């Protein structure tokens, strides 16, 4: 049996949250109310979510040796994620982000920077790092390295999930190695140049052959295509404080659902619940819920009908 349930290769970041009473108009000025340092990052936060749900999770990535890097390392260590193949890069600042949070809505605007000294190369990914787990989760940033990881996983029969929101050079070599594409709302149309989300998902899936091609829709939930049909799962209505990290938590929850053998509809519903609950606290990992908390929200959603439907997906 593999030592880990899931291994993730990709980004981490240490965020500075700036809480605004309202978002200023372009060229305007507003005093922020609070400044909070908070660990985050796509794959790292997904692995923390998996660990929170009881999976044996491993993270592979690079971290700077500055104060922000130390904050990130302490957060990952305390979460129980395995860090045996995390590289701490000397004289290199960690990836950082400044996140402007509008307190009236909980929506955020992200300004980020990742120095070149944090880049992972394919040569730094060995088969032993990947095959120690049952499933692989990646993003697209260091594209040659994540392609190497995904190729190893594919050769050993491991399912591969990917979180992607931007078009990366060479990513067309990654997609054929992916089983579960969970993209941002913008990625399918940007990739295919087709505005209809249904058609865009169909094109991606048929061209690259992944089992599930899906897109998150923010507060409105998620839309997926599998076995020639579409599955739409509306989002949950919660008291939103901060949307930072909701997508990362969604991806971690979806990986958990796959490993638990959930059907696609149930997997999307569970992932939406986990993402929604994370929005009820500040920070990318501020509201990562337990399994029982997510199940409680799902039950309440069925009982009270507190789901938010998307007009883009209401025809499903």
Per 3-state DSSP, what percentage of the chain is helix, strand, and coil (rounded to 5)? Answer: 35, 25, 35
Would you state the pLDDT for residue 301? 80
Would you state the pLDDT for residue 309? 65
What does pLDDT average to in each consecutive run of 10 residues of the chain (316 residues)?
96 96 92 95 98 98 98 97 98 96 91 97 98 98 98 98 96 98 97 97 97 96 97 94 95 98 98 97 95 95 71 54
Would you state the pLDDT for residue 1? 87
> 4-10+42-86+120-308 has which fold?
3.40.1190
pTM: 0.94
Would you state the pLDDT for residue 312? 55
Sequence ranges of the domains in the chain: 4-10+42-86+120-308
Would you state the pLDDT for residue 5? 98
Would you state the pLDDT for residue 179? 98
């Amino acid at each position: 049996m593999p030592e880990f349930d899931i291994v993730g290769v990709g980004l981490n970041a240490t965020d500075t949250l700036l809480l605004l009473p309202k978002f200023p108009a372009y060229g305007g000025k507003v005093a922020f109310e609070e400044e909070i340092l908070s660990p985050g990052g796509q794959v790292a936060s997904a692995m923390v979510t998996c660990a929170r749900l009881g999976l044996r999770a491993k993270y592979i990535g690079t971290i700077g040796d500055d104060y922000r890097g130390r904050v990130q390392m302490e957060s990952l260590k305390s979460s129980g994620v395995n860090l045996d193949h995390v590289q701490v890069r000397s004289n290199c600042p960690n990836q950082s982000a400044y996140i402007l949070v509008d307190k009236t809505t909980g929506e955020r605007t992200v300004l980020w920077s990742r120095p070149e000294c944090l880049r992972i190369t394919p040569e730094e990914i060995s088969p032993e790092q990947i095959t120690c787990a049952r499933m692989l989760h990646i993003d697209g940033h260091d594209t040659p390295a994540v392609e190497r990881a995904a190729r190893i996983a594919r050769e050993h029969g491991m399912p591969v999930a990917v979180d992607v929101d931007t078009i990366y050079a060479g990513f067309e070599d990654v997609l054929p190695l992916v089983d579960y594409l969970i993209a941002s709302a913008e990625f399918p149309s940007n990739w295919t140049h087709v505005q209809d989300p249904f058609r865009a998902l169909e094109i991606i899936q048929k061209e690259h052959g992944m089992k599930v091609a899906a897109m998150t829709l923010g507060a409105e939930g998620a839309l997926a295509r599998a076995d020639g049909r579409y599955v739409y799962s509306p989002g949950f209505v919660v008291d939103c404080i901060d949307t930072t990290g909701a997508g990362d938590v969604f991806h971690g929850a979806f990986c958990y659902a796959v490993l638990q053998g959930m059907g696609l509809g149930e997997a999307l519903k569970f992932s939406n619940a986990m993402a929604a609950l994370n929005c009820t606290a500040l920070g990318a990992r501020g509201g990562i819920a337990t399994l029982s908390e997510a199940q409680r929200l799902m039950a309440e959603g069925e009982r009270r009908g507190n789901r938010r439907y998307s007009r883009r997906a209401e025809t499903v």
